[in-house]
Structure formats: C-alpha cells, structure tokens
Amino acid sequence: MIHVGDKEFEDQVLKSDVPVVVDFYADWCGPCRMVGPLMEQLSDEYSGKAKFVKVDTDSNPELTSKYGIMSIPTVMVFKNGTVKDTVIGVAPAPVYRQKIEGTLRA
C-alpha cells in the first residue's frame, strides 16, 4: 500500500487504469488500526487487479472535505476516477471483498 496526499491523489487514484481502494484514516484512530492490516492482506490478494492506497485525513484536509469524510475509517473504491462503493467504519473482510469484486466486474 502506498500513502498518497492531495498532490498524488489525481495521478494515483483518479487516473489509475485499475480500480483503487482508498483507506481514509488517521494515526490516532483505533478502528483505523484494525482496518489497516486487513487492507494490507487484501492488497496482496488483489495484486495486479486493484491498487490500494491510504490517505491520512489529518494531513489531507482538502481530500477529506472533497469526499465528505465524516467518520473514519472510510474505505472508498474508485474506478475510472469516480467513487463506486464505500464502507464506513470497520467491516469484516468479506464485505470489502464484495465491494472490490463488484467494482472489478462493473
């Protein structure tokens, strides 16, 4: 997983030729620390099919505001520059897989 900010977001996420799973998080957020390892695992599972990035909401207030992040963790799945699905809060792995698979098939 790579960390992206306001400057890299367009190239890494919006212009990506594969779906991108974006984990909006903060270092101080306990639930975010639960989602992090799961995202790492899914990143390995979907290697070559989807890209996984992390956005620190504290360091990137413009992105946080633009995408209406009100609660973290928030995981968004982007395809062709648009949000295709969102999971707010901590969810089990099958929920994330379902969102990713749905975006890959669409």
Catalytically active residues are 29, 32
**Whether 27 contacts 21, CB under 8 Å:** no
**Whether 39 contacts 53, CB under 8 Å:** no
As beta bridge partners, residue 52 has: 21
